[in-house]
């Protein structure tokens, strides 16, 4: 009985010792590529091309500009945009929403490689019945423009290997 447990432990230890961790730089590079892909998808939405400046009142829950972003703040902002995107009924947003979810996973992987821990973002419990339903087209444009600007800032911040 003891020999079986010892053999299992040694086998597990041998397997784990052969596993290589994904380099942090590789995760960071994959994150940058995915950000560029999302920005390209946003630019590819036809009604985003002709927009100069839309203003929609009641969208004060959108994240504002931050000059310095840590990984935790990036995650919180991504989570906020993700909650907004899944509540907009546009077919254009399905792939962007999926990419955003993948981006969050990459960011969490990057953070865990640096020993960071994320907390659940607060606020935006439910967006049903809110301004999102009042003017969907304008809201979509404003949200995507804000997301694009945030992603561009995030891309620049990732060049400096941000901390937690």
Q: Does 87 have pLDDT greater than 90?
A: no
CATH number attached to the domain at 22-160: 1.20.1250.10
Q: Which helix (H) or strand (E) holds 134?
A: helix 131-134
For residues 29 and 138, which has the higher predicted lDDT (pLDDT)?
29
Tokens of 146: 């804000």
The per-residue pLDDT for range 19-74, each reduced to its tens digit, is 555 688 898 999 999 999 999 999 988 666 554 555 554 455 566 666 667 888 88
Which DSSP state fits 68? Answer: S
Lowest-confidence region among 16-25, 69-78, 146-155? 16-25
Contacts of 36 (CB under 8 A, 6+ apart): 155
Domain edges within the chain: 22-160
């Amino acid at each position: 009985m003891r020999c079986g447990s010892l053999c299992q432990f040694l086998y597990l230890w041998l397997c784990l010792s052969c596993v290589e961790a994904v380099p942090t730089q590789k995760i960071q590079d994959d994150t940058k590529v995915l950000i560029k892909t999302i920005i390209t998808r946003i630019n590819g939405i036809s009604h985003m091309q002709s927009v100069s400046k839309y203003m929609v009142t009641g969208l004060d829950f959108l994240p504002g500009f931050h000059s310095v972003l840590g990984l935790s703040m990036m995650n919180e902002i991504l989570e906020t945009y993700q909650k907004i995107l899944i509540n907009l009924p546009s077919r254009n947003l399905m792939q962007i929403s999926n990419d955003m979810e993948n981006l969050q996973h990459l960011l969490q992987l990057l953070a865990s490689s640096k020993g960071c821990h994320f907390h659940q973002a607060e606020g935006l419990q439910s967006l049903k019945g809110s301004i999102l339903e009042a003017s969907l087209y304008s809201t979509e444009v404003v949200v995507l423009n804000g997301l694009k600007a945030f992603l561009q800032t995030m891309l620049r911040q990732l060049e400096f290997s941000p901390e937690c």
